[in-house]
Amino acid sequence: MTTFVGSVRIVGAGLLGTSIGLALTKQGVDVSIASRSTKSVELATNYGAGRAATDTDSPNLIVVCVPPDQTAEIVAQELRIFPQAFVTDVASVKQSILHSLETMGAPIERYVGSHPMAGRERGGALAGRADLFLGRPWIVCAHSKSLPAATKAVKDLASSLESSVVELSAKDHDRAVALVSHLPQLVASLLAGRLIESDSKDVALAGQGLRDTTRIASSDPDLWMQIFSANADQVSLALNAFAADLKEASAALNDLSKTENQATLRQVLSLGNTGVEKIPGKHGAKHSIYSQVVVMINDEPGQLAKLLTDVGEIGINLEELKLEHSPSAQIGLVELYIAPAKEQKLITELELRNWRLV
Amino acid sequence: MTTFVGSVRIVGAGLLGTSIGLALTKQGVDVSIASRSTKSVELATNYGAGRAATDTDSPNLIVVCVPPDQTAEIVAQELRIFPQAFVTDVASVKQSILHSLETMGAPIERYVGSHPMAGRERGGALAGRADLFLGRPWIVCAHSKSLPAATKAVKDLASSLESSVVELSAKDHDRAVALVSHLPQLVASLLAGRLIESDSKDVALAGQGLRDTTRIASSDPDLWMQIFSANADQVSLALNAFAADLKEASAALNDLSKTENQATLRQVLSLGNTGVEKIPGKHGAKHSIYSQVVVMINDEPGQLAKLLTDVGEIGINLEELKLEHSPSAQIGLVELYIAPAKEQKLITELELRNWRLV
């Protein structure tokens, strides 16, 4: 982990702006926060994300964290007001913003767009977390006119927040996110939309599968209209390919008495297995960064407290803990998440203390 | 919660069979477990799900928990071997099993099919949990020839496992699950399948949205081929309706310069919002059944152990625990899940001990 060198101005104090501010402030970086909403600035500064911006600030790097359809305008404005600063943004589309800035004649040498692949269901300053970007990809989109120093500043920012920097052109970025983010959003919305005409009693039968596949259908339509509008070509391509696969599956399902149709449908399921295996860290980036040690405890009062006292004595810091407790089974499983370097020590010491590891 | 009266034979000692056995055994019910796999029986009985079946058993109710394509055959066999017993099954399709039994000439008066809407990603006896069915719908499918006493026995079973009983005809069941379970599975498989041709670097950018929408694409193709085959008509109908919506969205996306196309796409997103709102208990039945108390702890060694020691002294049983720990914030949030009746006591006692509740 590298510490960011320089002062940072954050424009927009929502989830991303506040999270960046929290992490940088912790490193000792001077963070100033600006927003059209004075209430947001107050919330974010009270939360520890930095100080309110003043007229005399002279930031080295400006991070624009506003909705996609305002991003180009605010980036251009910041480039104009702070002629010494590098400017980046965190919007989830990149080509259209760069094109708008070019059209406006903005001094784009000092601009390098970026996109941290991190978020939470809850938005707003108070949902901010300093570790929001930990282990997440942070895409940095240098372009033909950008200064190497501008790219370096944005990469340093991402690295200091413990993201993993991915360098892509704006075009490649937009193609990639069309597949891994915009297509899933559209499919989830369409799937959830199918529930509307249905009997509420049918929908009440929903299990975890439907909940997971439709969770992101609760996303903000305004934000997503901005994203789809700015990346329509790439989303269209991804959606058409999906539709072609769907058509084939549908035809197969229409007559499963034919062996070749059975083979087609089984192929859809098998390819689904293969596709999902391709996603790294399926259980979330955080869990793949921390090591997991699972301990089986007896269902007796005080067992978990005793385990945690032991972990404390061993001197290892718990990053996360999950207890899955079956009220009637005689055992419970405790998942401990720790830094990978501590895994072997924890295992050895817990076994010495007669804990049963799974 | 009612206790089940009578003895129960479970055929098939996987996740569902073992979970049913665990819960019934806890109530003091005599549970005998049979399976083609003696190893499964051994695992399940050691785990506390009941005793191994013997030749002299005379069960009141038999629960067949085997894969869908073996269900009709095993149900028929159990009806024949135990002429006094009622028989149910837990397969996720219902019409085709009933039809097969009719075709075989089985004594279906004593058979009432059922389907608990509960499951886990992990299968097998050791994934069994007595509270697997808690608050989940359990569909009971009486038919024109079934004895009222058979239906009552199955409903009593479901109630005693704290499920919420839903009575549906086999036909209505198959229509409902086509929408809330089979369509999401197919869509998730197709979506995950789109990742295969893509650059691994693109897929590496995946966030939580793609993970959630494709999680169930890792399901077992063999099991799902059985389900799709047994419910092809209903799944076809659901898939065709989805495909029609998709076509409309795709056409709109092709030219977003037109106001009416923008309106169409926004409608897709808004209907997605409405659809997902229609799903009850979005955060999972278990969490909505237990009460959640959130405690803020300082990021100091021993704090969590101290909290749990206090909870133990207060004498309240933890059902689940989750620690969300932000490595750089000075605080951590501990989510305690407890029986609702204990919530007020826990809050009062923790505040007395100076814990900060959120």
Q: What is the pLDDT of residue B268?
A: 97
Q: What is the pLDDT of residue B283?
A: 40
Check CB contact under 8 Å for A242 and B318.
Answer: no
Check CB contact under 8 Å for A200 and B224.
Answer: no
* B contacts of A206 (beta carbons < 8 Å): 117, 180-181, 279-280
Q: What is the mean pLDDT of the segment spanning B18-28? A: 95
> What is the value of ipTM here, to two decimals?
0.79
Across the interface, which of B204, B249, B322 has its CB nearest the CB of A186?
B249
Q: Decide whether A174-249 matches A290-357 in CATH topology.
A: no
Check CB contact under 8 Å for A221 and B269.
Answer: yes
The CATH number, out of the four listed (1.20.140.10, 3.30.360.10, 1.10.150.20, 3.40.50.720), of the domain defined by the range B8-168: 3.40.50.720
Q: Does A49 lie at the interface with B, CB-CB under 8 angstroms?
A: no
More confident residue, B280 or A246: A246
Residue linked to tokens 């929290």: A22
Secondary structure (3-state) at B164:
strand
Which stretches in chain A have pLDDT values below 70? 1, 121-122, 281-289, 299-301, 324-332
pTM of the model: 0.80
Shortest CA gap B77–chain A (Å): 27
Give per-residue pLDDT as tens, B138-195.
Answer: 999 999 999 999 999 999 999 999 898 999 999 999 999 999 999 999 999 999 999 9
β B51-52/B31-34 pair status:
parallel
Q: How far is CA A104 from the centre of its chain?
A: 30
Eight-class DSSP state of B4: P
Q: How far is CA A265 from the centre of its chain?
A: 32
Q: What is the pLDDT of residue A332?
A: 67
Helix, strand, coil tally for chain A in percent (to 5): 50, 15, 35
Q: Which CATH architecture has domain A174-249?
A: Orthogonal Bundle (1.10)
Check CB contact under 8 Å for B211 and A266.
Answer: no
B57 pLDDT tier (thresholds 50, 70, 90) = very high
β A320-325/A331-338 pair status:
antiparallel
Q: Does B247 lie at the interface with A, CB-CB under 8 angstroms?
A: yes
Residue linked to tokens 């002062």: A7
- B38: CB partners within 8 A, 6+ apart: none
Q: Does A122 lie at the interface with B, CB-CB under 8 angstroms?
A: no
**E strands, A50-187, in order:** 51-52, 61-64, 86-89, 113-116, 137-141, 164-167
CB burial readout A181-191, b (16+ within 10 A) else e: bbbbbbbbbbb
Mean pLDDT of chain A: 90
Q: B residues 290-349 near A, CB within 8 Å?
A: 301-302, 304-306, 308-309, 312, 315, 317-329
Check CB contact under 8 Å for B208 and A119.
Answer: yes
* B contacts of A129 (beta carbons < 8 Å): 326, 329
Alpha helical stretches, state H, chain B: 15-26, 38-46, 68-81, 95-104, 148-160, 170-177, 183-193, 200-203, 208-214, 221-230, 232-254, 259-277, 285-289, 303-314, 343-352
Spatial separation of the C-alpha atoms in residues B190 and A160, rounded to whole Å: 37
Q: Where exactly are the structural domains of chain A?
A: 8-168, 174-249, 290-357
Secondary structure (3-state) at B167:
strand
Q: What is the pLDDT of residue B300?
A: 66
Across the interface, which of A139, A205, A280 has its CB nearest the CB of B139?
A205
Tell me if A59 sits within 8 A of A8, measured CB to CB: yes
Could you tell me which CATH class the domain B174-254 is placed in?
Answer: mainly alpha
Q: What is the pLDDT of residue B327?
A: 43
Highest mean pLDDT among A300-309, A338-347, B90-99, B116-125: B90-99
Homologous superfamily, domain B290-357: ACT domain (3.30.70.260)
Q: Does B272 lie at the interface with A, CB-CB under 8 angstroms?
A: yes
* B contacts of A308 (beta carbons < 8 Å): 302, 304-305, 308
Q: Does A357 lie at the interface with B, CB-CB under 8 angstroms?
A: no
The residues pairing with A34 across neighbouring beta strands, listed in sequence order, are: A11
